Chains A and B, each alone.
Chain A
Amino acid sequence: MSFNQPSVSSAVKNQYLYKLKGYSSVFVALMTVQIIAMFFGVLGGVGQYGTSNGSMYLDLYYVSGDLIFAFTCIWAFVIAFTMDSKTNRQAMQVFVTNQLTRHLANGIYLVTLSIIGAITVLLGGFFIKSIVMILNGPESTFIFVGYTIGDFFIGLATTSLYLLLCSAVGYFAGKIASMGLVAKLVLIIGFLSVLFYNGLIERISEFFIMEDVFSIFILKVLVTSLVAYVMAIWLSKQLEVIK
């Protein structure tokens, strides 16, 4: 009997397709999370600003898709966290796979999820703005009109990158969670104490959010995501050898 010598790319492709088909409930989760976020968004608005000037009183609510974005970030983190769990790993091992192809397929899948997530975040933002406008009537609505198609694509790219960052960190955290109890505790406590030490958490968010040059922002996010992803793969390799 002749043997098959599959290429890495064909194995990755098949696993990627298997993931897309076999785990479609992630999209149901995405929709649920975003509907909840929209509900809060329409109901409360995101921010409120009130001022009075003699006889005139101005009460300003502004509406944005920020809450949808925040919820979607959590979604990306959680999905990535469970992506390489023991059961999901076993489900891959039934078919043609090795560690490299499995992680590559997972990575490409997470990129896909980030892009789909980003598109829905932007559309969801438009959606709640429209709803608020319809509810309040056009006379009491200011619309920021300086929005171009180019802004849309920049928004799409930025949101995708943030979601990718969340999912890469989630993927790494998921690997830490599958370690032994003691190692896990030490790492989590260490991580948290570093995070809250000296306002490091603010500095980390500044590192990404305050970056004005778009290309450098892309570079920062991609490099950080890649580091998290590679560390996850490395950790996964160590864990599986121990077994």
Chain B
Amino acid sequence: MGIVICDNVSKSFKKNRAIKNLSCTFQENRITGLIGRNGAGKTTLLKTIAGRWRPNEGVVKVFDEDPYDNLKVSANMICVNDELVFSPELTLDEILKSGEMFYSNWDMEIAEGLFDYFELNPNLYHDQLSKGKLSTFNMIVGLASRCPLTIFDEPTTGMDYSVRQDFYRALLKDYINHPRTIILSSHLLNELEDILEDIVLIDKGEICLHESMNDLKEYAIRITGKREDIEPFIVEENILHKKKLEFNLESLVVKNEFSKEEIEQMKQRGIQILNVDAADLSMFLTGQSKGGIDDVF
């Protein structure tokens, strides 16, 4: 069942169209990664889903209702990003207690456990926290609220590597204990590979791929071999990335639309076939088609 359904959604800010005719469905009780580069439209999409903004065109449905200004959606959804604002006069401890008052599923045990583990001082105020601690605290609020729809927008900003690993693990454990729909936006796909079930790849305000993580791993392959050997097998549109190597060798990343026979034939010709890392693939799919940073210099 689709918990979040976006149908042909567009959202512009003045002249900049942040998302364009975007359609996608987030399934119930799955962890979906929303992956894209800076400015791809991740935050805009998430804020529209969270009901902060109304789309200019198209329809967004969350729990089958329009999320904008909707009390039911607000009660069953939490959107954690680095812009979370709490009352400046409440200590962290008091903020957690407020969370308990508002969210009926609130899990104080988890909140306090994580609080101790990450060594947060309950008497501090929210604006006294460092960037990493702030993200850690927001993450705790997001997990403890245990909302049927939990959105994390770039939750790991400022966290160091080990805190990030702990966060992923905490998220996964809590998700297994209390399954819910989680949308996680990030540009660090390599770190998320193990916890994501689905992936939505977004680029320039459009969805460029929506697959399960398993399908993504088979979505493309890397072929390395002599140019004249490779050429007969390749359809030009399927090339995602091309790199010239020495000795007239070429390394291509192409969509995996080959039959078993074709793979066999390629292997016989001495063409090397490898899997493509999900993080690399997402980079190739969302990358600019022409050249790289080297061309600037």
Contact = CB atoms under 8 A, between A and B. Distances in A.
Contacts of A96: 71, 74-75, 102-103
Interface string A16-39: 011001111100000000000000
A204 B94 CA distance: 44
Contacts of A5: 72, 75
Given A18-B98, A18-B101, A6 B71 contact: yes
A2 B90 CA distance: 31
Interface in B44-99: 52-54, 63, 69-72, 74-76, 78, 83-87, 89-90, 94, 98-99
Interface string B93-129: 0100011011111000000000000000000000000
A30 to B, nearest CB: 15
A18 B90 CA distance: 10
Given A1-B29, A21-B98, A96-B103, A90 B74 contact: no
A78 to B, nearest CB: 17
16 contacts: A1-B179, A2-B148, A3-B76, A6-B71, A6-B75, A11-B71, A14-B102, A17-B101, A18-B101, A21-B87, A22-B87, A22-B89, A90-B85, A94-B141, A96-B74, A243-B53
A94 B85 contact: yes
B87 A91 contact: yes
A23 B101 CA distance: 17
Contact of B71 (A8, A25, A93): A8
B71 A97 contact: yes
A198 interface: no
A4 interface: yes
Contacts of A101: 71
Interface residues of B, number: 33
A98 interface: yes
Main SS class of interface, B: loop
Contacts of B242: none
A96 B97 CA distance: 14
A23 B89 contact: yes
A1 B1 CA distance: 12
A98 B76 contact: no
B89 A97 contact: no
Given A5-B75, A93-B52, 12 more contacts: A6-B72, A11-B71, A14-B101, A21-B87, A22-B87, A23-B87, A90-B83, A90-B84, A94-B86, A95-B99, A95-B103, A243-B53
Interface centre among A5, A22, A94, A100 (most CB of B within 10 A): A94
A4 B72 CA distance: 7
Interface of B: 29, 52-54, 63, 69-72, 74-76, 78, 83-87, 89-90, 94, 98-99, 101-105, 141, 148, 178-180
A5 B73 CA distance: 9
Contacts of A56: none
B95 to A, nearest CB: 9
A104 B89 CA distance: 22
A25 B88 CA distance: 10
Contacts of A2: 148
Interface centre among B89, B102, B141 (most CB of A within 10 A): B102
Interface in A59-103: 87, 90-91, 93-101
A240 B70 CA distance: 14
Nearest to B86: A91
A8 B85 CA distance: 23
Interface string A230-243: 00000000001101
Contacts of B105: 4
Nearest to B148: A1
Contacts of B69: 98-100, 240
A241 B98 contact: no
Closest 4 CB pairs of A and B: A22-B87, A90-B85, A95-B102, A96-B75
A3 B148 contact: yes
A94 B84 contact: yes
A21 B71 CA distance: 22
Contacts of A6: 71-72, 75, 104
B92 to A, nearest CB: 13
B179 A21 contact: no
Nearest to A17: B101
Interface in A140-160: none
A240 B71 CA distance: 16
Interface centre among A91, A100, A241 (most CB of B within 10 A): A91
B129 to A, nearest CB: 15
Nearest to B104: A4
B72 A95 contact: no
